[in-house]
């Protein structure tokens, strides 16, 4: 099942997004979903290498929310959103910006933002947003897709940090792998220069970037100490972006398929999956495969008895905040609340 958030339109978008977040059945309470600010302030500094910190931070900043205001008639009858074909029913997903480049004067295009009003801007950047094909099906949908950058928290809506651009078109990808590139422009110099710098740090193909063993974050439960980890940055339910961490469970390079139990929700479809497949030996870690996947969907969830200690990432954040239970009654309540959890198996396709 794909994980695009579909809005009914019965209430304001923000109110419906908040309601869906609060009433989520897949991840009740979203205890394993960490805010950008908490991750950058409390978790990222644990990495000793500045290069590793910059790569991960760039990955977070390049993650965007996608809001699709169109469902194309070209979608097949068996498509999960086929019933909305031809309607402006709002859907939301996630994407990741790549290949940022400032255009030379002869390649600049007319810009229809409020500032340019159809004129060719003095400076212009082009970039692609990698996402899933089921999120943005074709060029028709891309042109009705709003790309929200830097939607890190609710304050970013009020203080102007969040910037938005419209999709322009799509590039062709192998349809069976559920991958899609959306083509975009920006004439905002601050945005363009920031994205260009972030994209230099974050590269799938740069052999000079040292492998990231995500256990450096100190967030592994004991039972997963020897596991390969998968980190996802997404916009669950259309909310501000969140970071989740889980295990890379399966990798099929022939089918370009990756499976992981990293928590995801509706709205996470199209998110980039950050993972390495390591070979562990007495000499240390050897990176065998860089897993660059795009989240496609979930096989489902199963309620199971909790096998691991309470989520270490949440505990790490709470310890820094001083949010420990104040007495034994609270401790008992806390244990009862975490008695069971939802085991999930999600999947994505390698780019």
The pLDDT tens digits of the residues spanning 142-188 come to 999 999 999 999 999 999 999 999 999 998 666 778 999 999 999 99
Mean pLDDT of 291-304: 75
Give the relative orientation of helices 189-201 and 50-61 as an angle to the nearest 10 degrees: 130
Tell me if 56 is assigned to some domain: no
Q: How far is CA 331 from the centre of its chain?
A: 33
Q: Domain span at residue 305?
A: 214-350
Q: Are residues 22 and 95 in the same domain?
A: yes
Give the residue from 201, 235, 254 where a domain finishes. 201
CA distance 137 to 175: 10
Does residue 210 have a pLDDT over 70?
no
Q: What are phi and psi of 23, to 5 degrees?
A: -105, 15
CB 271 within 8 A of CB 294: yes
Q: Which of 104-113, 203-212, 336-345 has the highest mean pLDDT?
A: 104-113
Residue 116 reports pLDDT greater than 80: yes
Residue 51 forms part of a structural domain: no
* Plot region of 41 (φ>0 → left; ψ -120 to 50 → alpha; else → beta): alpha
Structure tokens at 313: 């990432």
Global pTM value: 0.84
Residue 86 has pLDDT above 60, yes or no: yes
- 3-state SS, one letter per residue, for 263-322: CCCCCCCCCEEEEEEEEEECCEEEEEEEEEEEEEEEEEEEEEECCCCCCHHHHHHHHHHC
* Whether residue 11 is found in the same domain as residue 143: yes
Which CATH number fits the domain that encloses residue 321?
Answer: 2.40.10
346 is a domain residue: yes
Indicate the residue among 177, 201, 225 that finishes a domain: 201
Q: Backbone dihedral region of 212: left (phi > 0), alpha (psi from -120 to 50 degrees) or beta?
A: beta
Q: Are residues 194 and 88 in the same domain?
A: yes
Q: How confident is the model at residue 317 (pLDDT cuts 50, 70, 90)?
A: very low
The confidence score (pLDDT) of residue 326 equals: 35
Q: Give the pLDDT band of residue 344 (cuts 50, 70, 90).
A: confident
Domain count, the chain: 2
Bridge partners, 247 (sequence order): 229
- 190 and 305 assigned to the same domain: no
Q: How far is CA 130 from CA 125, 252, 320, in A?
A: 16, 21, 35
Are 83 and 135 members of one domain? Answer: yes
- Give percent of the chain with pLDDT exceeding 70: 75
> What six digits make up the tokens of 65?
């929310």
Going by the DSSP 8-state scheme, the letter that residue 77 receives in this structure is T
Average pLDDT over residues 57-65: 95
pLDDT at 219: 56
């Amino acid at each position: 099942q794909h994980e695009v958030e579909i809005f009914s339109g019965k209430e304001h978008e923000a109110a419906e997004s908040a309601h869906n977040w609060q009433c989520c059945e897949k991840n009740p309470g979203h205890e394993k979903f960490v805010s950008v600010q908490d991750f950058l302030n409390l978790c990222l500094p644990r990495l000793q290498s500045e290069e590793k910190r910059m790569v991960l931070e760039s990955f977070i900043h390049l993650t965007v929310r996608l809001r699709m205001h169109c469902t194309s008639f070209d979608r097949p009858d068996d498509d999960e959103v086929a019933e909305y074909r031809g309607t402006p029913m709002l859907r939301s997903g996630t994407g990741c910006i790549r290949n940022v480049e400032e255009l030379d004067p002869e390649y600049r295009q007319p810009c229809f933002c409020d500032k340019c009003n159809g004129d060719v801007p003095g400076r212009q950047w082009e970039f692609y947003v990698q996402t899933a094909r089921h999120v943005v099906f074709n060029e028709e949908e891309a042109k009705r897709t709003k790309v929200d950058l830097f939607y890190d928290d609710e304050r970013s809506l009020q203080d102007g940090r969040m910037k938005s651009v419209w999709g322009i078109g799509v590039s062709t990808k192998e349809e069976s792998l559920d991958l899609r590139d959306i083509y975009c422009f920006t004439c905002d110099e601050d945005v363009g220069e920031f994205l260009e710098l972030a994209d230099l740090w974050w590269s799938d193909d740069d052999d000079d970037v040292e492998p990231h063993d995500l256990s450096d974050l100190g967030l592994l439960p004991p039972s997963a100490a020897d596991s390969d980890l998968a980190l996802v940055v997404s916009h669950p339910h259309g909310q501000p972006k969140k970071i989740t961490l889980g295990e890379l469970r399966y990798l099929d390079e022939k089918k370009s398929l990756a499976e992981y139990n990293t928590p995801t929700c509706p709205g996470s479809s199209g998110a980039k999956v950050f993972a390495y497949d390591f070979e562990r030996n007495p000499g240390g870690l050897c990176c065998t495969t860089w897993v660059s996947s795009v989240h496609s969907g979930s096989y489902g969830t199963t309620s199971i008895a909790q096998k691991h200690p309470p989520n270490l990432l949440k505990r790490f954040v709470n310890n820094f905040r001083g949010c420990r239970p104040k007495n034994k009654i609270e401790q008992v309540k806390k244990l009862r609340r975490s008695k069971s959890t939802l085991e999930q198996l999600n999947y994505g396709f390698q780019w």
